[in-house]
Amino acid sequence: MNGPILAARDLHLAFGGLRALDGVSLDLWPGEVVAIVGESGSGKSTLLRVLAGQLRPQSGQVTYRDAEGVAHAVQSLSDAALRRLSRAEWGFVHQSPRDGLRLGVSAGGNIGERLMALGARHYGRLRETAEAWLRRVEIDPGRLDDLPRAFSGGMQQRLQIARALVTGPRLVFMDEPTGGLDVSVQARLLDLIRALVAELDLAVLLVTHDIAAARLLAHRILVMRRGRVVEAGLADRVLDDPQHEYTQLLVSSVIAA
Amino acid sequence: MTETGYNFAYLDEATKRMIRRAILKAVAIPGHQVPFGGREMPLPYGWGTGGIQVTASLIGRDDVLKVIDQGADDTTNAVSIRRFFARVAGVATTERTAAATIIQTRHRIPETPLREGQILVYQVPMPEPLFRLEPRVAETRRLHALADYGLMQVKLYEDIARLGHVGLSYNYPVMVNHRYLMSPSPIPAFDNPKMHRMPALQVFGAGREKRIYAVPPYTAVHSLDFEDHPFRPIRADARCALCGSDASYLDEVVTDDAGGRLFVCSDTDYCGERQARQRRGEAA
Amino acid sequence: MYVAVKGGERAISHAHAWLAALRRGEAAVPELELAQIREQLGLAVDRVMAEGACHDPDLAALAIKQACGDLIEAAFLLRAYRTTLPRFGASLPLDTARMRLWRRVSATYKDLPGGQLLGPTFDYTHRLLDFSLAAPGAPPPAPAEEACAAAAAAPRVSDLLADEGLMQPEPRAESEPPDLTRQPLACPAARPLRLQALARGDEGFLLALGYSTQRGYGNAHPFVGEIRQGAVAVEFTPPELGFPVQIGEITVTECQMVNQFLGSRTEPPQFTRGYGLVFGRGERKAMAMALVDRALRAGELGEEVTAPAQDQEFVLYHADNVEATGFVEHLKLPHHVDFQSELENLRGIRAAAQAAAATLPEAAE
């Protein structure tokens, strides 16, 4: 397969006088992890929502190339088509488990929901799959029938990842997946994500303000400030030899790990 | 003796036409809820105003009307609605399922199989099958449009995980014509299989929520389930104390306050016919 | 006519005189007697007693007359009177199982010991205006003996279910329950306090909340286990006697809703109860109260609290119509001091914005 899995060209979006996206372009290749870094208000979360079709830009194009190699203009997909893609080929991991999980539904039900939406109707096999995924994200399979409300923050995030990945997506959007977690918990979660991404050959767009997370997971990094991409390149190059003064500031503000 | 000062069957003809248009649309899109301009009726909301409006729009002078509530013709609300139509339409009424052309029902489907040409009108309190999972009407309409019914399947999954079986015993959701998720109204799940490929037209009226939906004759109606946890209709494991039926849906009657119970058919017509046949059999 | 702020006193006395004239209406029409209100507008009297939290049909009739038929205003009048009464003590709990029944219906059983007793009800009437009532007529015949014959033994449906172990038992409190009229409400409120607040609560508010639970805002699966209406004895134990004596009889309506409860890891599936009890024949209120009572138990039953009707603070702090009407209506009191400062503030901001816009040729980034 040739060509990027996701391509954005010259995206513009303003909220009142605030330019959230100001001429942003990017390419994401199959199996590639790209981190979008920047401080809050830089436009990185807005970019993620535009790329995933949840927000409409005022101008610009987002193109997704599906498993058959067919290109789709994300902004002109019907609700039904977009939902089909989000269910079958994409995954979304939110910063807050509240947004990514059904807290009143058991862990097994959370993992099984996407499969059921795609037509799975065998209870026993749904449970087997859910158990296998719990193991994969290092949650005791004995907690299959527990509500996520009873889980720790780190477990909730791991469950969210299982829920997003169970249908075998090709493209995963992650919005600050480690935000709000203790440092030790963050490290474990990052390790898990790194292993799963490599194993499943996922393309990932990772939004984070955590430079360490970007260094650990990403092949390439985009640095955003005030709605613009101020610097882009291979992760090690951007972090070890930042060119833009804003990137230099970001990198220097991180205590060396 | 019909009430003077009111049109035949209470509603004016323009309103009846509007409702019939909604019914036609509902028949054309089986299981889809069609909004309609529901009218105030002289009975309170929740007491069958939707079914009454549907019946009033469909009924003609030659129709024979049967009204049941909980399967029985002699329950107060059924009596009240039957009297209402006798009063405002002057049509013939019957308690015999086989003799009726229109059967308005609350909470049951008659035991006697319905045939072509009959119309079964259901009174529906809550037409939206997803409302317990998603109360916002705008969002449920979206879910129907996208045929996004994973949520309902998750609910069944959760029931099985917690209880070992689906926790719904009435108002058990069905898929109509492999497309729309539909509430069968609060009939016992026992009655669900009767909806599948029924020769009679089934029309559902929800007055308070102002929606009409329908299942045309011979349409596929499937109760949601899992391959390894198939749908199972539930009835009390007993025989009717009056007619001995072991196949009909039974009401439990408390006979004293020392735990005494007995079971009788909820369908009074079915039970009565069986008893009459048994008496004839004895006499012969 | 515009009334200047300081001319208040005269304006008020004029307004009240005008109200008194309006209350009386056309002088040629005979004046209402309290007995007429009490006897012929009984449901209004019942509602005012319930929301006024004071059982006295004559006082309620007076309040309705004085309030020109505004039932919330009448409940307010009755509350304001009630609060002046000394509190001698608490009666014994009403034993509704021993009620002298007029009406008793169960939606969960077709027939049951004691039978279904329809009693005086609007149910099954056709809502067609009865023009024959427009002119005075002879009083209708008294109800037939058999229609009002109280059932000999009519056990409560909740007790029938409880005997089978299907109904969650209610814990029996040994201590005297708190009194909402003596202590301020504090959340989380225990069920006795919640039930008191609901019993006094506004019928319309409870109706809307109860209705919302049926429409998916809250996890309700209610059945009317039983509605019973009739006369029940009020008993009191005077300290000097040490044994209970009957001090009177009141009419009440009780509604017990039976609700599904799927059970949890620790509790087997069983039915749970929503309870409603009101003075008089306020059946709609009793039913709504039972729905809301059950919704408010979501937290203690381990159900997810998502809907307004399940939110204690939301329900209990807004159910009282005397409180609500006071605060809503207080908005018409003068607020010009605060408003003046808002005016100045807004003018200042607008002036600054206009000045800034004038100096900038184009909006900068």
Among the ranges given (A148-152, C209-213, C216-220), the one the predictor scored with the smallest mean pLDDT: C216-220
Beta bridge partners of B123: B205
Range of the domain at B249: 235-284
Identity at B207, one-letter amino acid code = G
Residues C54 and C115 in one domain: no
Report the C-alpha gap between A143 and A72 in whole angstroms.
Answer: 39
Q: What pLDDT is stored for residue B115 in this prediction?
A: 97
Residues B159 and B255 in one domain: no
Look at residue C245 and tell me whether its pLDDT is greater than 80.
Answer: yes
The burial class, CB within 10 Å (0-12 / 13-18 / 19+), for C307 is buried
Beta bridge partners of B106: B69
Mean pLDDT over B180-209 rounds to: 96
In a domain, B117, yes or no: yes
Band of residue C145 on the pLDDT scale cut at 50, 70, 90: low
Q: What pLDDT is stored for residue B43 in this prediction?
A: 82
Contact A202, A170 (CB under 8 A): yes
In a domain, C267, yes or no: yes
Q: Do A19 and C363 touch (CB under 8 A)?
A: no
Using CB atoms, list chains with 3+ pairs below 8 Å to chain C: A, B
Beta bridge partners of A173: A92, A205
Q: What pLDDT is stored for residue C146 in this prediction?
A: 59
Residues C154 and C42 in one domain: no
Band of residue B2 on the pLDDT scale cut at 50, 70, 90: low
Residues C70 and C202 in one domain: no
Domain limits, chain A? 99-168
Residues B142 and B267 in one domain: no
Q: B256 to chain C nearest CA, in Å?
A: 5
Residues C155 and C302 in one domain: yes
> How many domains does the structure of chain C reveal?
2
Residues B266 and B193 in one domain: no
Residues C225 and C314 in one domain: yes
Residues B36 and B102 in one domain: yes
Look at residue C148 and tell me whether its pLDDT is greater than 90.
Answer: no
In a domain, C139, yes or no: no
Chain B contact residues (CB < 8 Å to A): 142, 145-146, 148-151, 153-154, 157-158, 160-162, 225-229
Question: A59-65 and A6-15: which strand pairing?
Answer: antiparallel
CB atoms within 10 A of CB C317: 14
Q: What pLDDT is stored for residue B52 in this prediction?
A: 96
Residues C257 and C189 in one domain: yes
Tokens of C111: 């027939």
Residues C320 and C202 in one domain: yes
**Cis, peptide link before residue C141, omega less than 30° from 0:** no
In a domain, B145, yes or no: yes
Contact B212, B205 (CB under 8 A): yes
In a domain, C345, yes or no: no
Residues B218 and B242 in one domain: no
Q: What pLDDT is stored for residue B69 in this prediction?
A: 93
Contact C151, C115 (CB under 8 A): yes
Cα atoms in the Cβ-side hemisphere of radius 13 Å centred on B165? 9
> How many domains does the structure of chain B reveal?
2
Residues B78 and B134 in one domain: yes
In a domain, B240, yes or no: yes
> How many helices and strands in chain A, by DSSP H and E?
10, 10
Report the C-alpha gap between A172 and A241 in whole angstroms.
Answer: 28
Catalytic, out of B38, B205, B207, B271? B271
Residues B61 and B148 in one domain: yes
In a domain, B229, yes or no: no
Residues C111 and C74 in one domain: no
Q: What pLDDT is stored for residue A170 in this prediction?
A: 94
Return the higher-pLDDT residue of C196 and C331.
Answer: C196
Contact C185, C197 (CB under 8 A): yes
Choosing among C126, C132, C227, which should be mutated to test the B contact, i.e. which has the most B CBs within 10 A? C126
In a domain, C185, yes or no: yes
Residues C49 and C100 in one domain: no
Contact B111, B103 (CB under 8 A): no
Residues B44 and B149 in one domain: yes
Widest Cα–Cα separation across chain C: 92
Helix axes of C57-66 and C71-82: crossing angle, nearest 10 degrees? 130
Q: Which residue has the tokens 């990052």?
A: A190
Q: Which residue has the tokens 């992890």?
A: A33
Chain A contact residues (CB < 8 Å to B): 79-80, 83, 102, 105-106, 108-109, 112-114, 116-117, 121-124, 126-127, 144-145
Q: What pLDDT is stored for residue B204 in this prediction?
A: 98
Contact C29, C1 (CB under 8 A): no
pLDDT tens track for C102-116: 999 999 988 888 889
Nearest CA in chain C to A227: C365
Choosing among B49, B257, B263, which should be mutated to test the C contact, i.e. which has the most C CBs within 10 A? B257
Residues B258 and B125 in one domain: no
Chain C contact residues (CB < 8 Å to B): 109-113, 118, 123-124, 126-128, 153, 155, 159-160, 163-164, 214-217, 219, 260, 262-263, 269, 307
Mean pLDDT over B154-181 rounds to: 93
Calculate what percentage of chain B has a pLDDT beyond 70: 98
Q: What pLDDT is stored for residue C352 in this prediction?
A: 84
Residues C183 and C246 in one domain: yes
Return the higher-pLDDT residue of C55 and B40.
Answer: C55
Q: What pLDDT is stored for residue C178 in this prediction?
A: 87
Q: Does the predicted interface ipTM exceed a cut of 0.85?
A: yes
Residues 6+ apart with CB under 8 A from C66: C23, C74, C77
Range of the domain at C100: 96-120+148-169+178-325
Winning range, highest mean pLDDT, from A106-110, B278-282, C218-222, C352-356: A106-110
Residues of B in contact with C216 (CB under 8 A): 128, 131-135
In a domain, B118, yes or no: yes
DSSP string, C144-179: PHHHHPPPS----HHHHHHHTT-BPPPPPP-SPPP-
Residues C67 and C105 in one domain: no
In a domain, C338, yes or no: no
Q: What pLDDT is stored for residue C4 in this prediction?
A: 40
Contact B218, B202 (CB under 8 A): no
Identity at C117, one-letter amino acid code = L
Q: What pLDDT is stored for residue B275 in this prediction?
A: 96
Return the higher-pLDDT residue of B236 and C278.
Answer: C278
Contacts across the A-C interface (CB distance below 8 Å):
4
In a domain, C221, yes or no: yes
Look at residue C7 and tell me whether its pLDDT is greater than 70.
Answer: no
Report the C-alpha gap between B37 and B16 in whole angstroms.
Answer: 11
Contact B33, B211 (CB under 8 A): yes
Look at residue B1 and tell me whether its pLDDT is greater than 80.
Answer: no
pLDDT tens track for C283-317: 999 999 999 999 999 988 888 888 999 999 999 99
Tens-binned pLDDT, residue by residue, of chain A (257 aa): 578 999 999 999 998 778 899 999 999 999 999 999 988 888 898 999 999 999 999 999 999 999 899 999 999 999 889 988 998 899 999 999 889 999 989 999 999 999 999 899 999 999 999 999 999 999 999 999 999 999 999 999 999 999 999 999 999 999 999 887 888 888 888 999 999 999 999 999 999 988 888 999 999 999 999 999 999 999 999 989 998 888 888 888 765 54
CATH number for the domain harbouring residue B182: 3.40.50.11310
In a domain, C158, yes or no: yes
pTM for the whole thing?
0.81
Residues C58 and C182 in one domain: no
Residues B67 and B121 in one domain: yes
B243 is catalytic: yes
Return the higher-pLDDT residue of C163 and C196.
Answer: C196
Residues B69 and B35 in one domain: yes
**Ramachandran angles phi, psi of B111, nearest 5°:** -70, -40
Mean pLDDT over C2-8 rounds to: 47
Surface of A (90-109) touching C: CB under 8 A = 103-104
Q: What pLDDT is stored for residue C22 in this prediction?
A: 95
Torsion of Cα atoms, A76 then A80 then A82 then A87, to 10°: -170
Report the C-alpha gap between A253 and C272 in whole angstroms.
Answer: 58
Look at residue B180 and tell me whether its pLDDT is greater than 50.
Answer: yes
Report the C-alpha gap between B52 and B85 in whole angstroms.
Answer: 9
